[in-house]
Amino acid sequence: MATPLLQEFPELSNFSREDLEDLLNDPVYFQAFFHSLDRVKYMYRAQAELGMANESIAKNNVALQESLYNLRAETQAAFDDAKSLEKRWKELEKEQKERFTPQFLLMRLKHATTAQDDATEAMASTFVQQQAALPSLSREDGTGTPRGGLEVDEFIQQFKEARKTYHKRAIAHSIFQEVHVNGVSQGHTAGIRVPEYDGPISDVNSNDIICNGGINPYRQPVSQKIIDVPAGAQVTAEWHHTLRGAEPNNPSDPIDPSHKGPVMVYLAQIPNAAQSSVTGLKWFKIYHDGLDSSGVWGVDRLVRNKGKMTYTIPTCIPDGQYLMRVELIGASILALHGAQSYPGAQFYMECAQIRISGGGNVNPPTVSFPGVYKGTDPGVRVNIYSGIRSYTIPGPDVFTCPAGSGPTQPAAPIPTVTPTQPAVTTTAAPVPSAPAGPTVPQYGQCGGSGYTGPTQCSSGQSCTKVNDWYSQCL
């Protein structure tokens, strides 16, 4: 009968009982039988083969030991180099962040601007000294140019190029950042989509030309205020070099006086003045100030007035919400210092959110942004260094109300806000009947050079001259 033992070791099937007892009782006999088994012999052969293979591997490893040690050393050195490079990278990254902060770049640009200014002054001084020191007719051809000196035309060309570089480096940007209605401030940056950076827009075909806010992102959160403005009100837009407001000790506030160009104001009716989308609006111009006959620019007058420009809201336009796009050499400005080629002129603009009341029913002709300005327009592509005596302001003509048109209802009063100008103790007397023409409310502009609005003050007020450019109802 087959048992599990015989099935596992068939060699025992021929053993008698006595043989099996001897196998169990005699260790020598057991070892002899055990090592005679085929499977044991196979295991011994396999063990021997594995031993020889391990010995061969060991000998190979010993032969490679020096190379392995060298590779390990090289790996460690490469790891150490990588750690060192990582440390240096972090140091360079920190250095780059420090070197290229806005403050550092601004400082470098200011230094470069100063150096360029000094270089042009030295160029002019050297030329003048050469002209004074040498005989005027020292050249054989008798042209009147000192020997060894520059031709006058050549000097002028070189000086122009050097000054253009200076003006391009000059930190002279500006931001429209406060609205005054009839002399009353509506709050700093309140109701205006102001950017964090005062950089220009140079592409007249970009949507950034509408209200900025693209390459110069708006300060967040964008103001949701909508400023109430009566039709016929005197509105003052206030500009400054940065969003810090007025900086009396900064020669570039509100904008560097070396920059020249016009200032302009547009309106566009909009369903909600606080909505984010500004594309597709229809604009009309209500004010502009360019180059006058004495060679003074609109921006020059802005600088003289400490960043303020005042204009009148037309009395005949419909009530509703509008965007007021103010444009000038600093945050709504056209900077012409590099505009002899396109792109070269710098456009600065911001949009205020207003609600007009007490107006009429006249719909002005409109234009589109982008679209109304072209790179080839004479007011965009112009060389202000060429001694120009006249200048074509970009865009359409200023809209004026037709004769006999005017408000269809009394203008709603604006909210009471603490005025930025000293309060006047007298108050306007009630008007018994409608005036013959538009009148200027208390604190509004009623005269001044270049002013074309109403000159008659409301009852109880008189038009008082403040300076050559501004008269006010007091």
Task: Specify whether 228 is located in the same domain as 312.
Answer: yes
Task: Specify whether 214 is located in the same domain as 335.
Answer: yes
Distances (CA, A) of 222 to 86, 216, 273, 304: 41, 13, 12, 30
Residue 455 lies in a domain: no
The pLDDT, as a whole number, for residue 14 is 81
Greatest mean pLDDT range, 25-34, 419-428, 433-442: 25-34
| Residue whose pair of structure tokens reads 């408000």 in the numeric block | 407
Q: What percent of the chain has pLDDT over 70?
A: 79
Residue 386 lies in a domain: no
The pLDDT, as a whole number, for residue 215 is 86
Domain end: 341, 369, 397, which one? 369
The pLDDT, as a whole number, for residue 102 is 54
d(CA 307, CA 312): 17
Task: Specify whether 286 is located in the same domain as 210.
Answer: yes
Domain end: 170, 199, 223, which one? 170
Task: Specify whether 86 is located in the same domain as 164.
Answer: no
Task: Specify whether 96 is located in the same domain as 110.
Answer: no
Instruction: Quote the DSSP letter at residue 381.
Output: S
Residue 417 lies in a domain: no
Least confident interval from 50-54, 253-257, 347-351: 253-257
In tens, the pLDDT along 172-194 reads 588 999 999 999 999 999 999 99
The pLDDT, as a whole number, for residue 103 is 54
Report whether pLDDT(220) > 60.
yes
Greatest mean pLDDT range, 141-145, 393-397, 454-458: 393-397
The pLDDT, as a whole number, for residue 326 is 98
In tens, the pLDDT along 163-172 reads 666 555 555 5
Structure tokens at 157: 């060309």
| Residue whose pair of structure tokens reads 């005054």 in the numeric block | 180
Task: Specify whether 248 is located in the same domain as 340.
Answer: yes
Task: Specify whether 82 is located in the same domain as 161.
Answer: no
Task: Specify whether 54 is located in the same domain as 163.
Answer: no
Report whether pLDDT(433) > 80.
no
Task: Specify whether 120 is located in the same domain as 231.
Answer: no
| Domain encompassing residue 62 | 22-100
Instruction: Write out the DSSP string of 137-168.
Output: T-STT--SPPTTS--HHHHHHHHHHHHHHHHH
Report whether pLDDT(138) > 70.
no
Residue 81 lies in a domain: yes
Cβ count near 462 (within 10 Å)? 10
Greater confidence (154 vs 97) lies with: 154
Residue 424 lies in a domain: no
Task: Specify whether 158 is located in the same domain as 226.
Answer: no
Domain of 272, CATH number, reads: 2.70.50.70
Report whether pLDDT(37) > 60.
yes
- Cα distance from N-terminal residue to C-terminal residue, the chain: 135
DSSP 3-state percent helix, strand, coil across the chain (nearest 5): 30, 20, 50
Domain end: 369, 387, 415, which one? 369
Burial class (CB in 10 A: 0-12, 13-18, 19+), 102: exposed
Structure tokens at 368: 């589109």
Angle between helices 27-35 and 17-25 (to 10 degrees): 100
Q: Which residues pair with 172 in a beta bridge?
A: none
Type of residue found at 85: L
* Phi, psi (rounded to 5 degrees) for 318: -65, 150
CA 136 to chain CA mean position, Å: 51
Report whether pLDDT(450) > 80.
no
Task: Specify whether 226 is located in the same domain as 341.
Answer: yes
Nearest partner of 362 among 410, 408, 398, judged by Cα = 408
The pLDDT, as a whole number, for residue 353 is 98
Nearest partner of 226 among 415, 432, 453, 450, judged by Cα = 415
Residues 298 and 451: beta-carbon distance below 8 Å: no
Instruction: Write out the DSSP string of 191-211.
Output: TB--BSS---B--TTSTHHHH
Structure tokens at 354: 């207003």
Total domains in the chain come to 3
In tens, the pLDDT along 315-370 reads 999 999 999 999 985 333 444 544 555 565 788 999 999 999 999 999 999 999 99
| Residue whose pair of structure tokens reads 């190979």 in the numeric block | 60
In tens, the pLDDT along 144-162 reads 444 455 677 788 878 777 7
Instruction: Quote the DSSP letter at residue 333.
Output: B
Structure tokens at 165: 């570089």
Residue 444 lies in a domain: no
Nearest partner of 134 among 124, 144, 123, 121, judged by Cα = 144
In tens, the pLDDT along 453-470 reads 788 888 778 888 877 767
With H, G, I as helix, E, B as strand and everything else as coil, classify residue 238: strand
Type of residue found at 463: C
How crowded is the C-beta side of 149, counted as CA atoms within 13 Å?
Answer: 27
Q: Across residues 242-269, what is the average pLDDT?
A: 89
Angle between helices 27-35 and 38-99 (to 10 degrees): 70
Task: Specify whether 59 is located in the same domain as 70.
Answer: yes
Rg (CA), the chain: 44
The pLDDT, as a whole number, for residue 400 is 95
Cβ count near 339 (within 10 Å)? 21
Residue 420 lies in a domain: no
Residue 401 lies in a domain: no
Greatest mean pLDDT range, 253-257, 308-312, 327-331: 308-312
